Amino acid sequence: MNLGLTDEQEAVRELFGALFAKESPPERVRAAEPVGHDRALWEHLIATGALGVAVPESVGGAGAGLLEVALIAEEAGRRLAAVPFAEPVSAARLLAACGATELLGRVLAGDALVSLATKPGRLADQLLADGAVADIVLAFDGHRLVAVGRPDEVRHLPNLGSVPLARWQETTSWVVLCDGETARRLSTRAVDEVRVLRAAALIGLAAEAIEIGAAYARERRAFTIPIGSYQAVAHPLADALVATDGGRLLTWKACWAADAGEPNAPALAAMAFAFAADTAYHAAQHSLHIHGGYGFMAEYDIQLYYRRATAWATAFADPRRELRVIADRTLGPVGSIRPNGSVGAVAR
């Protein structure tokens, strides 16, 4: 099995790694708080065509796969890029699948920031991860997939992770994109893509948090000895590094399964998100702990990672609830009958 990236995929990772390193230093991340949106960085991202990387060439995209945009998401997570990415990329692919080429053209040109409601039902009942900055939100109301325009008044909901959270009230500005089984199928796939891309961003966050913690552990001394030489410091860092590598491979596998149309793709998407969320939190938490009291000070970068490690995950879903999604997708819903005649997961 070849787990390496192709030359083209390596080029994508290097290009966007360099972009985010230059355009999303810690100073810019801080400056974008509390809303968590760096408009100048967003314009750079649009100029690179990042939103269209995994959109078919026939409708103006680059025709790549989910893995390529996951590599971009990982580099964005590594630098805590203060721009929405997972939902807009998934929404762009959803517009392409629906044949909404006119709206898709506006999105790829940067004329409208489109996001995705990740739960079915009334939009007014949801907390939107990009609601404070989005111009359009795609939502599945249970029967139809609709594109909803931004209401006149949108208020950002402050949060420690500086995520652009907001609720949208009912609006008359909406267009039906598709309905019925097609709408349900495409919406479900789009939300799974958000799972995978958020997983990739969290893996990038975890990797950089480990680097920050390791660098401080080499520099900080206790009793004239670098604290990194103590097992209580080094071993959890090593565990976090191994978990990060595992989470990256799981995310890549989820990308491959989704693009290949594998039946286990939905389960792998939920697994990747749940594992990455847990990995990012523990990596950031231990790296902050290594810093001692300094880790909680605004001047130290690790607190930026610690705050976002939880916020980025919970803005989408409670990772613990995602374990139920995994159970349903691997064992079947509670009380369901599998094709082999056995019963699915049993409620306890």
Q: CB-hemisphere CA count at 13 Å for 329?
A: 17
pLDDT mean over 110-133: 93
pLDDT in tens, 280-289: 999 999 999 9
Q: Predicted confidence band at 337 (pLDDT cuts at 50, 70, 90)?
A: low
Q: What is the DSSP letter of 346?
A: P
pLDDT in tens, 214-238: 999 999 988 889 988 889 999 999 9
- Residue 330, pLDDT > 80, answer yes
pLDDT in tens, 30-75: 999 999 999 999 999 999 999 999 999 999 999 999 999 999 999 9
CA gap 9, 2 in Å, rounded? 14
pLDDT in tens, 308-319: 999 999 999 888
Q: Predicted confidence band at 338 (pLDDT cuts at 50, 70, 90)?
A: low
Strands (E), 162-275: 174-179, 221-222, 225-226
* Domains of the chain from N-terminus onward: 186-331 (1.20.140.10)
pLDDT in tens, 77-116: 999 999 999 999 999 999 999 999 999 999 999 999 999 9
Q: Taking a C-beta distance cutoff of 8 angstroms, is the pair 284, 306 a contact?
A: yes
- Residue 347, pLDDT > 50, answer no
Please state, rounded to an integer, the average pLDDT across all residues of the chain.
93
- Residue 336, pLDDT > 70, answer no
CA gap 331, 77 in Å, rounded? 32
Q: Which residues pair with 140 in a beta bridge?
A: 145
* Chain-centre distance for alpha carbon 60: 23
Phi-psi region of 231 (alpha: psi -120 to 50; beta: other; left: phi over 0): alpha
DSSP for 35-51, please give it: TT--HHHHHHHHHHTGG
Q: What Cα–Cα distance (Å) separates residue 191 from each residue in 18, 88, 108, 118, 248?
A: 28, 11, 20, 6, 19
Write down the pTM of the prediction.
0.93
pLDDT in tens, 152-191: 999 999 999 999 999 998 776 889 999 999 999 999 999 9
In terms of Cα–Cα distance, which of 103, 82, 252 is closest to 173?
103
CA gap 272, 258 in Å, rounded? 12
